[in-house]
Amino acid sequence: MKKAMLILNPSSGKELAGDFKEQTIETLTSMGFEVEVKETQGERDATDFARLACAEKYDLVTAMGGDGTINEAVNGLAEQEHRPLFSFIPLGTVNDFARALGIPLDPARAIEGLKTAKPRFTDIAKAQNQYFMNVLAVGQVAESVSNVSVEQKTKLGPLAYLIEGVKALTSEDETEVVVEHDNGTWSGNAVVVLVALTNSVGGFGKLAPDAQTDDGFLHVFIVKSKGLPAFIRMASAVLRGKIEENPDVVVIKTEKVRIETSKEMTCNLDGDEGCSTPIAVQILKKHIEVLVPIGKTN
């Protein structure tokens, strides 16, 4: 019988993971899997469990939890000799990876959707010795978002990230940045640098409308200008899906990028605090095979 490992974070989604545990087990069992359940208790547990599934040659790893849990599971699968098929049930605050892949944000529907989902390969990215599947951010915005508390996320949801992001983008803080990419080097002052893999960043599906989860590219956005007027111009461009037309933003499409800042800054990877600058990022093309709903192409 095929083996599946269900990795769940019992504290995710306002502690709703336990409510969907049995439905997930029943669904995976009906799909012909023998299911082993692993519950996380601390940081990096999901990574360790996913690596164990690789070592023991499981056929499927299903992660249930927030953005951090999904990211940890991907980190456990990345660059392993045997990588099981991957699926996940989103219980996070923003769920950008689920949005990009067309996975229902309602957990019950996401679980039911596993029965008819089909495998497809998706890109991930490597930043130093860490991996991410959606976005890396460098700058005051990134550091502000990393400081959003669990209480804020529980109370406000995605709005908590938006509030902190707006505060940082409209402040007078900026950083001297050097960005090396496939076609050259950009240098100057910037508020934030984003490296995106998907068309959904922070819950906004129009920041990188042309980005596909398997297009083999990093989509880099350098936000140059600070203050409220620049923020309003950028917000308008994002809502129209025309960020490349905004003179305050530099858009770069590349397979690798190196970001250096005048002072050491902590990066934000998929919503959580990650490594620090200087940082080198590279694409790992079609690296993870994910179960996604039929007909989804992003």
Same domain as 116, residue 32: yes
Same domain as 158, residue 37: no
Question: Which of the pair, 189 or 244, is modelled with greater confidence?
Answer: 189
* Predicted pLDDT at 158: 42
What CATH number is attached to the domain comprising 40? 3.40.50.10330
- The answer to the question of residue 183 being in a domain is yes
Same domain as 215, residue 119: no
Same domain as 274, residue 149: yes
- The answer to the question of residue 197 being in a domain is yes
- The answer to the question of residue 274 being in a domain is yes
Residue 86's nearest CA partner among 287, 291, 286 is 291
- The answer to the question of residue 214 being in a domain is yes
Question: Which of the pair, 16 or 1, is modelled with greater confidence?
Answer: 1
Same domain as 116, residue 51: yes
| pLDDT at 238 exceeding the cut of 80 | no
- The answer to the question of residue 298 being in a domain is no
Please compute, for residue 111, the number of CA atoms within 13 A of its CA located in the half-sphere on the CB side: 20
What CATH number is attached to the domain comprising 206? 2.60.200.40
> 59: which residues sit within 8 A by CB, 6+ positions away?
2, 3, 4, 33, 84, 85
Same domain as 224, residue 162: yes
- The answer to the question of residue 297 being in a domain is no
Q: Helix crossing, 228-239 with 158-169: angle to 10°?
A: 130
* Predicted pLDDT at 66: 85
- The answer to the question of residue 225 being in a domain is yes
Same domain as 249, residue 155: yes
Same domain as 105, residue 11: yes
Q: Which two tokens stand for residue 247?
A: 């003179």
Which helix (H) or strand (E) segment is 183 a member of?
A: none
Band of residue 126 on the pLDDT scale cut at 50, 70, 90:
very high
Same domain as 229, residue 114: no
Task: State how many domains the chain has.
Answer: 2
Same domain as 280, residue 136: yes
Same domain as 280, residue 160: yes
Same domain as 68, residue 21: yes
- The answer to the question of residue 171 being in a domain is yes
* Predicted pLDDT at 96: 85
The residue segments making up the domain with residue 155 are 132-284
Most confident option among 110-114, 233-237, 266-270: 110-114
Band of residue 152 on the pLDDT scale cut at 50, 70, 90:
very low
